[in-house]
Structure 1
Amino acid sequence: MSRILAVDFGLQRSGLAVTDPLQIIVTALDTVDTSQLIAYITNYCQRENVEKIVFGKPVHRDGQETYLMPYILQTELELKKKIPEILTAFQDESGTSAEARRIIFNSGIGKEKRKDKARIDRVSAVLILQKYLGHI
């Protein structure tokens, strides 16, 4: 089987998570400067067998998409140009950042590490991918 990669997209940096080849276990992969995101994912997909990329879909409480969606759609389009065979999907990411902060806080790590926004982005990507796997 193939892996599924998740992206918690941000204008400055993006968190990434990935499944194992059997699509059972989700692991935080990395946090990448968003300007390097397409190159990073393209390189990763050349090394690993990735069948799908799941983007977190940021929406307001009323269900309207946030200002980030056009950037995410542009990233999806550019990735499909570089990796035409890749499938893409979107998963509502509502509440993932708050839940990621809670998980990190409850993990018992030190205060300075809890403030690490890159860590929050990675955990958010894990949560997005876990939500997605629960829906398929």
Structure 2
Amino acid sequence: MNRILALDFGLRRTGVAITDEMNIIASGLTTVDSRDLMNFLQAEIPKLGVGTIVLGEPKRLNNEDTHSSENVRLLREALEKNFPLQKIVMVDERFTSKMAFQTMIDSGLKKKQRKNKAMVDEISATLILQSYMQQMGM
């Protein structure tokens, strides 16, 4: 079974999450400098056996685009070009950063640890992946 990889794209960093081999559990994988994202994906996607890439789609509460929307569309185009064998899926990412931060609080991380934006991005990618999995009935 092909694994599912999720991305929480930002101009500086991109959070990355992946499923297990059975597509049952979503786990944070890492955070990558966004300038290095395509090189990272080209190395990791074949190695991890990824069949689907889930990309968080930023939207405002009224469903309008955000300042990041155009960059995410450009990333989607680059993913479709560079990974023609993988399915590319967009998933609403509203509130994932806030939910990630709350998850950090709920898990007992100290204030200094919660300032780690890379961790927030990785947790956000995991929440995006979990959302996709729920939509697909996994």
Determine if the TM-score, normalized by the shorter chain, exceeds 0.5. Answer: yes
1:110 aligns with 2:89: no
Partner SS, residue 54 of structure 1:
strand
How far 1:5 moved relative to its partner?
0.4
More moved, 74-83 vs 4-13: 74-83
State the aligned residue count. 136
1:5 aligns with 2:5: yes
Corresponding residue number in structure 2 for 1:90: 90
1:40 aligns with 2:49: no
Conserved? CA contact 1:42–1:79, under 8 Å = no
Give CA deviations for 1:16-69 in whole Å, capped at 9, x if unaligned. Answer: 100011110000001011011111111111211100100011100100121212
Corresponding residue number in structure 1 for 2:62: 62
How far 1:70 moved relative to its partner?
1.6
Structure 1: stretches of 5+ with no match in the other structure: none
Structure 2: stretches of 5+ with no match in the other structure: none
Partner SS, residue 22 of structure 2:
coil
More moved, 20-29 vs 71-80: 71-80
Conserved? CA contact 1:58–1:94, under 8 Å = yes
Give CA deviations for 1:113-136 in whole Å, capped at 9, x if unaligned. Answer: 111000000000000110111101
- C-alpha RMSD of the superposition: 0.9
Partner SS, residue 78 of structure 2:
helix
Corresponding residue number in structure 1 for 2:119: 119
Conserved? CA contact 2:57–2:92, under 8 Å = yes
